Amino acid sequence: MDTRLIIMAAMVTITLAGCSSAPTKPAEELALAKKCDKGLDVGYKELNFSNAKGFGGSWEYTKAASLLSAAKVQSGFGSYTGCIEKVKTARAYIRESRK
């Protein structure tokens, strides 16, 4: 019985250690977080500007809005690289919607 308990405890410890998301380089993590936040701010401003100029109904605008929402979620979970990529793609769609 004690052996099973030790094995279970070891398995849980290994699993939790593998799932931890503690940054290995906090300075890099902070830089990515700032870049993600700045990109989201700019992206939403561009999106609002496009909407005000009458491009709110375009397909590109809709894709950009969805990507910015997904980027915001990724930012909340600490996936800043994915956030930055989604923001870049969203901003490209916003530029495309204005053409």
Q: How many helices (H) and strands (E) does the chain have?
A: 4, 0
Instruction: Find where tokens 């890099």 sit.
Output: 28
**Nearest C-alpha neighbor of 90 from the set 74, 68, 59, 72:** 68
For residues 50 and 38, the model is more confident at 38
State the CATH architecture for 25-97: Up-down Bundle (1.20)
Does the pTM of the predicted model rise above 0.85? Answer: no
Amino acid type, 93: Y
pLDDT tens digits, one per residue of 30-48: 999 999 999 999 999 999 8
